[in-house]
Amino acid sequence: MKDICNSYPRLVMLEVTNTCNLKCDYCFRSKWHIHDKEISWETFLKIKERINFAESVCLCGMGEQLLHSRFYDMIEALEDKNVLIITNGTIPINYDKLSAKGNVSSITFSVDGPSEEIMLKSCLGYKFSNLLDNLKRSRGYSSLTIGINCVISPHNLDAMPSMVRFCSEYGVKVLNLLLPTYNMRWVKRKAEQIKNTMEEVYIVAQDHGIKIKAPGEMNCVFEKSVIPFITLSGDVRPCCDHFNRISTAGNLLKNTFEEIWDSPTYRKFKSAEYCFGCVQNQKVI
């Protein structure tokens, strides 16, 4: 793990807005008092200039990134990067604008159930019809890899096999299953049931040709380097895991990434101390 922590990042996560149209019971944003903001164009361009080392940029964060007023302008400005997008799926996507530069390789939808009924149990205001429309229209853009992030919870555990079938029906190629880090007591209590459900998930996935990333496989590593998280104000955290609340290592509006990489916080992170204590790194099921 120490070698991975010391490898220069090839992918960065960039938050362009913390505004969200939903209130999900498991989301940190719903529990923290966050004032809605979006990154200014000037700040975005400055950050873009200072992440020229990164081959890939993932637009994601504490908000719904498609709500930024200049979202598609940002996609265009990142034309020399491989762009990945994480979205809750309820904002209609303009696929023509999204694919104009040919630099967006994947869209991952955060979906925690195969039906509106299940979604509304944990996510108030979720417009399931918008998700279905986005998924259906994505099929016309073969260059995009479509995936789903799904947080396993008491609301949806029994529906996980149906979630695989949902992916097959709507052309989703990858299903990333995550554990609720906010509720690890439940995970430990239901570990045997989760294991049994995962066995069924693998069988259904094999039948339908869906790639499964199980809990423990989904982490903050990309091509043997840890993914740093950049907030809309330019703050850099060495890891994208909000749960650990890793200290800010520096700010790209004040420092180059090279300077931040050599900061005391980053040097401590490169010892892998954070990783060994991280819940994402523990075998719990």
d(CA 151, CA 169): 20
What's this model's pTM, rounded to 2 decimal places?
0.94
Q: Does any domain span residue 284?
A: no
Specify the higher pLDDT residue, 197 or 221: 197
Q: Does any domain span residue 265?
A: yes
Q: Does any domain span residue 138?
A: yes
DSSP state letter for 279:
G
Tokens of 191: 């570990």
Specify the higher pLDDT residue, 100 or 180: 100
d(CA 24, CA 77): 31
d(CA 238, CA 241): 9
Is 79 in contact with 100 (CB distance < 8 Å)?
no
Tokens of 282: 């523990």
The SS3 of residue 79 is coil
| CATH number of the domain to which 262 belongs | 3.20.20.70
Question: Each residue of 30-60: b (16+ CB within 10 Å) or e?
Answer: eeeeeeeebbeeebbeebbebbeebebbbbb
The answer to whether residue 249 scores a pLDDT higher than 90 is yes
Q: Does any domain span residue 3?
A: no
Q: Does any domain span residue 240?
A: yes
Phi, psi dihedral angles at 237 (to 5 degrees): -110, 140
The three-point CA angle 243-116-20 to 5° equals: 45
d(CA 248, CA 251): 8
Is 199 in contact with 177 (CB distance < 8 Å)?
no
Q: Does any domain span residue 59?
A: yes
Is 230 in contact with 269 (CB distance < 8 Å)?
no
d(CA 156, CA 163): 9
> Based on the structure, what is the number of domains in the chain?
1
d(CA 83, CA 227): 14
The boundaries of the domain holding residue 166 are 11-271
pLDDT value of position 8: 95
Phi, psi dihedral angles at 133 (to 5 degrees): -65, -45
* Greatest pairwise CA separation for the chain in angstroms: 52
Q: What are the distances in angstroms from CA 25 to CA 67, 166, 190?
A: 20, 23, 19
The percent of residues above 70 in pLDDT, for the chain, comes to 93
| pLDDT tens profile 5-41 | 999 999 999 999 999 998 877 776 666 677 889 999 9
| pLDDT tens profile 119-172 | 999 888 899 999 999 999 999 999 999 999 999 999 999 999 999 999 999 999
d(CA 213, CA 149): 9
pLDDT band, very low/low/confident/very high, at 104 (cuts 50, 70, 90): very high
